[in-house]
Amino acid sequence: MIKYIVSALVFGAVAGYLVNNFLSGFPTTLIADQLFSVALIVALFVFGFSFGCDREAIRKMRQTGARIVVFPVLVALGSIVGGLVAGLILQLNVAGATAVGSGIGWYTLSGPLMEQLLGAEWGTLAFSANFLRELLTIVTIPLMVKLDKYAPIASGGGTTMDTTLPLIVRYCGKDTLITAFSNGLVLSLIAPFAVTAFASLV
């Protein structure tokens, strides 16, 4: 499975690069946005369906109560501390680096938001750091799941309700669907506030 994923990612990136640079006039958003959204909606329906059919998954789900509340809080704290420690190591402005970490993987939000609040340089850093968080999560899921069943959900942060959800369900098990989705949902609500709060301390 991971072979297909990495090949699809690489082929997609190469195709995107070629089309963008050599096929001017081709609407790249058709694939980057529209195809992505349609595939995501279909994926969510199919995952939901296969979860609904599965009695075992529903039985396991009953034990997830605490996770839905505890995980997003711990992941948000971990991202904030991670940004802070990185800021100290890299000798960056610590509040700024913490704000970058607070993006929790949501680069399409934290990039433009940081650019608006602190300028283009911080915007670029926030975009790149959170994009790399998503990319690293995608390629390390098979390894991380060996460490802990829920490690990929922690790693994915705000992306576990969309881009990384299919892989998490595949590797961590169908019963993690609701935990992963709600983790991403809650973190997507926290991220804009956390980024703004730390950016205001710079």
Partner 1 sequence: MADPLTLVYLTVPLVVGVVSGYLVRNRRQVKLEKPIVAIVVVLIFSLGFSIGSNSELLAALPQVGLQALVIAVLAIVFSVAFVMAGRKLVKA
Q: Which 14-53 residues touch partner 1, going by CB under 8 A?
A: 14-21, 28, 31-33, 35-37, 39-53
Buried b / exposed e along 32-55 (16+ C-beta atoms within 10 A): eeeeeeeeeeeebeebeeebeeee
Question: Is 132 or 200 the residue whose CB approaches partner 1 more closely?
Answer: 132
Question: Is 12 or 119 the residue whose CB approaches partner 1 more closely?
Answer: 12
Asked if residue 114 binds partner 1 (CB under 8 A), the reply is no
Question: Is 35 or 200 the residue whose CB approaches partner 1 more closely?
Answer: 35
Four-CA torsion 80, 86, 91, 96, nearest 10 degrees: -30
Asked if residue 97 binds partner 1 (CB under 8 A), the reply is yes
**Cα separation, 15 vs 20, whole angstroms:** 8
Asked if residue 62 binds partner 1 (CB under 8 A), the reply is no
Amino acid at 194: A
Binder among 94, 95, 117, 130 for partner 1 (CB under 8 A): 130
Asked if residue 170 binds partner 1 (CB under 8 A), the reply is yes
Retrieve residue 24's tokens.
Answer: 């001017």
Binder among 94, 95, 101, 195 for partner 1 (CB under 8 A): 101
Asked if residue 198 binds partner 1 (CB under 8 A), the reply is no
Closest CA to 75 of 104, 39, 35: 104
Asked if residue 125 binds partner 1 (CB under 8 A), the reply is yes
Closest CA to 178 of 40, 38, 46, 48: 48
Retrieve residue 105's tokens.
Answer: 């993987």
Retrieve residue 30's tokens.
Answer: 């058709």
Asked if residue 142 binds partner 1 (CB under 8 A), the reply is no
The string of DSSP letters for 39-85 reads HHHHHHHHHHHHHHH-HHHHHHHGGGHHHHHHHHHHHHHHHHHHHHH
Q: How far is the CB of 52 from partner 1 (least distance, A)?
A: 2
Q: How many CB atoms lie within 10 A of CB 183?
A: 29
Asked if residue 143 binds partner 1 (CB under 8 A), the reply is no
Q: How far is the CB of 148 from partner 1 (least distance, A)?
A: 5
Asked if residue 201 binds partner 1 (CB under 8 A), the reply is no
Q: How far is the CB of 155 from partner 1 (least distance, A)?
A: 5
Q: How far is the CB of 170 from partner 1 (least distance, A)?
A: 7
